[in-house]
Chain A
Amino acid sequence: MARKSVSMTKLALTGNEAVAEAFRQVNPDVAAVYPITPQTELMHKFSEYVYDGKVETELIAVESEHSAMSAAVGAAAGGVRAITATSANGLALMWEVLYIASGLRLPIVMAVVNRALSGPLNIHCDHSDAMGARDSGWIQIYSENSQEAYDNALQAFRIAEHSGVLLPTMITMDGFIISHTTEVLEILDDAAAREFVGEYKPMYTLLNPEQPVTMGPLDLQDYYFEHKRQQVEGMYNAPAVIEQVAQEYAALTGRKYGFIEAYRMEDAETAVVVMGSAAGTTKDVVDTLRERGIKVGMVKLRVFRPFPHEQLAEALSHLKSVAVLDRCISFGAQGGPVYMETRSAMYGKEIPIYSYIYGLGGRDLIPSLVESAYNDLFEGTPDPKMRYLGLRE
């Protein structure tokens, strides 16, 4: 691990506070905010920084999430660094504007505190909100704990604003499980964080009278298709940037981030693929099973968009079987969204892959449930259809 080159402070923060801390250090120009559980605390904390004069951010308290994303789009089109944060139905209400942000190539950074979508009404964690936005042209980075949420928040600006990428980026954390759990984490000192993130220099701005531009014009059969292809190119360019930014961050902090995290995979015979806080639980289960001499591993996906298909396929290619845990259902599909992406990445490899749905609406994923998935892989024949962890029949 790289040697740390800057001083860091250990703090006990919730996930929400950790990301608010990162946003404070970044000192963005505009924050468009609207409260929704479990995100509320994040922007509540950030608004304290605004009113205490600790940042110079223009905080706009808007009347809905649709307006929050619209205000962020306007600010970003004006050439400044814009942030927002939301959860669940708030993200759903942003829907059409998510596509405008990515389509106009505005590098907005948004924290998504994952929560189940209503109805019936539920305020607890699952990934249905962010997964629903997976085709909206946003980069998606998932966090296992508060430390990762903080680290990902700082890196997100560099990734989104890179001239070869210019795509809005959402960083996520599991609602309540991470957002409201106090953990000890390491925070960069302010100067180092600001130097790492750097100054934002927009390629174009609507507010430069010396160079007037037109943004968001009518774009019909003649050019719309070409502009969508350009967005694909941004996604193609993103991996190299994500990697470069992670390397610089590792040199600064000693904390290394990849597209995936392989845990005890070297000699593993089977593995579970997970995202978010479930990775922590799964690592514990892997350790327990390893103590019994069972060769299991885990792969955590950090980046979901762009999907790291090559890295994932390489990590899984030596296994006998794989279980993919999704905290989201794609109704009518063959499995959860992560499962389908994983199967697609593994196309042509004769390795059985099974879909497990868990944790919807905040249902706990206790270690014995993860263990039962591993047991299926080793002992039984997993049901070819979707299976459920922690569901009452």
Chain B
Amino acid sequence: MSELKGWKDIPIGGLIPHGGTAFDYETGSWRSFRPVHDRDKCIDCLDCWFCCPDNAIIAEDQKFKGFDMMHCKGCGICAKVCPPKVGAITMKPESEFEE
């Protein structure tokens, strides 16, 4: 608690005087289902990239690269929008990944 500032030293009203704050905030820990990607099935349509509400699909050169697990909340939209004939993304319980 010692590094937290007192009420006189912070902007009023909870305001943060810069943008893009969601980038620094880890929401990945909220996840109870994890998206798993199958490279062999993926056709790189990037529907998942368009639809992800948390900007957690990483794409490079118009190809699927991976998930940003710090921000992925596990909502499953990517798996849902992945074309049925492709089915490259499946949601698996986080418990399967715990060690």
Contact = CB atoms under 8 A, between A and B. Distances in A.
Interface string A175-219: 000000000000000000000000000001000000111111111
Contact of B13 (A105, A211, A212, A222): A105
A359 interface: no
Chain A interface main SS type: loop
Contacts of A224: 14
Given A217-B14, A223-B14, A230-B13, A212 B7 contact: no
Interface string B1-37: 1001111001111111111110001000000000000
A213 B19 contact: yes
A144 B96 CA distance: 69
A213 B17 contact: yes
5 contacts: A105-B12, A226-B5, A226-B7, A227-B10, A230-B12
Given A223-B4, A226-B7, A229-B7, A215 B18 contact: no
Contacts of A219: 14
A165 to B, nearest CB: 11
A215 B14 contact: yes
A212 B15 contact: no
A166 interface: yes
Contacts of B15: 104-105, 204, 213-215
A212 B12 contact: no
Given A214-B21, A217-B21, A230-B7, A104 B16 contact: no
Closest 5 CB pairs of A and B: A212-B19, A105-B13, A226-B7, A214-B16, A229-B7
Interface string A149-177: 00000000000000000100000000000
Contacts of A204: 11, 15, 17
Nearest to A229: B7
A38 interface: no
A103 interface: yes
A233 B7 CA distance: 10
Contacts of A214: 15-16, 18-19, 21
Interface centre among B10, B14, B20 (most CB of A within 10 A): B14
A216 B14 contact: yes
Contacts of A103: 13-14
Contacts of A212: 18-20
A215 B13 contact: yes
Nearest to A214: B16
Nearest to B16: A214
B70 to A, nearest CB: 16
A227 B7 contact: yes
B21 to A, nearest CB: 5
Contacts of B5: 226
Interface centre among B1, B4, B16 (most CB of A within 10 A): B16
A226 B25 CA distance: 20
A239 to B, nearest CB: 18
A226 B10 contact: yes
Contacts of B16: 213-214, 217
A232 to B, nearest CB: 9
B20 to A, nearest CB: 7
Interface in A237-294: none
A169 to B, nearest CB: 16
B13 to A, nearest CB: 4
